[in-house]
C-alpha cells in the first residue's frame, strides 16, 4: 500500500509525542518524525514552524496525560490520588516526566510559589473532588499544603523516575505519600491556627 504524501498537523504531533514517550526529547528530530510517518521531512517543515512550537504542543499533550494519571481513583482519598498519580506518571512515563521536568522544564518563580493555590484550582477546579477537599481547610492552610506537598511529591517522583529508591511499587509509593501527607496536613492546619 502506498504511503500518503500529505500528513496532518495532528499526525505529525502524534508521531513526535510517541517518539518523546519512547526516546525522550533528544530523540525528537524532523528526520525521526518523518521516519515514523514513513515520509520525507517536507510535511513536517510545512506544518511545524519551529522547534519551540513543537515543544509547546508536546508539553500540552504531556501535561494532559499527567492530569489523566492524577485524576484516576487509586484510593478513596482525592488529594492522595493527585500526588500518587504524579509519582506513578514519573515511574510509568519516564521519558515524558523527564521531558517536562528535566529536559525542558518551566522555570519556577519562588516569589509566586504561594500562588500555587490558584494554579491548583485553575487545573483541577474548585468544584472537583480534589478542590472540595482542599476547600475544607482555611485559605492560608490551602496554599501551604499545596506548596509543601508538591515539593515533597516532586522530589519523590524524581527519585522514583531515576530508580534511586530501588522499589517503586504502588505500596511503597503510597506509604511515603501517606506519611508525608499526614504531616503536611497537620502542619497546614496548625499553621493556620498560629496566624
- Each residue's pLDDT tens digit, 147-182: 788 889 999 999 999 999 887 899 999 999 988 877
The values of phi and psi at residue 146, to 5°, are: -65, -50
Q: In the prediction, which pLDDT does 1 show?
A: 46
Cα–Cα distance between 34 and 48 in angstroms, integer?
12
Q: In the prediction, which pLDDT does 121 show?
A: 75
For the chain, what is the mean pLDDT? 84
- Mean pLDDT over 114-140 rounds to 73
Percent of the chain surpassing pLDDT 70: 84
Q: In the prediction, which pLDDT does 168 show?
A: 87
Residue of 107, 85, 100, 106 whose CA lies nearest to 153 = 85
Q: In the prediction, which pLDDT does 187 show?
A: 59
More confident residue, 187 or 76: 76
- Mean pLDDT over 2-26 rounds to 87
Within 10 angstroms of residue 185's Cβ, the number of other Cβ atoms is 15
Contact 86, 48 (CB under 8 A): no
**The total number of residues written for the chain in this structure:** 195
DSSP 4: P
Q: In the prediction, which pLDDT does 108 show?
A: 62
Amino acid at each position: 500500500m502506498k504511503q500518503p504524501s500529505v500528513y496532518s498537523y495532528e499526525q505529525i504531533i502524534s508521531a513526535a509525542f510517541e517518539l518523546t514517550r519512547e526516546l525522550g526529547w533528544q530523540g525528537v528530530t524532523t528526520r525521526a518524525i518523518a521516519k515514523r510517518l514513513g515520509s520525507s521531512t517536507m510535511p513536517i517543515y510545512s506544518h511545524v514552524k519551529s522547534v519551540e512550537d513543537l515543544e509547546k504542543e508536546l508539553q500540552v499533550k504531556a501535561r494532559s496525560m499527567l492530569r489523566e494519571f492524577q485524576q484516576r481513583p487509586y484510593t478513596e482519598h482525592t488529594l492522595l490520588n493527585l500526588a500518587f498519580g504524579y509519582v506513578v506518571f514519573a515511574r510509568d512515563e519516564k521519558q515524558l516526566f523527564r521531558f517536562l521536568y528535566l529536559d525542558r522544564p518551566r522555570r519556577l518563580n519562588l516569589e509566586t510559589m504561594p500562588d500555587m493555590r490558584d494554579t491548583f484550582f485553575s487545573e483541577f477546579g474548585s468544584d472537583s473532588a480534589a478542590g472540595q477537599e482542599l476547600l475544607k481547610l482555611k485559605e492560608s492552610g490551602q496554599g501551604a499544603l499545596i506548596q509543601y506537598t508538591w515539593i515533597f511529591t516532586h522530589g519523590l517522583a524524581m527519585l522514583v523516575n531515576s530508580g534511586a529508591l530501588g522499589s517503586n511499587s504502588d505500596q511503597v509509593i503510597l506509604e511515603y505519600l501517606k506519611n508525608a501527607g499526614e504531616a503536611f496536613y497537620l502542619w497546614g492546619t496548625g499553621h493556620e491556627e498560629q496566624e
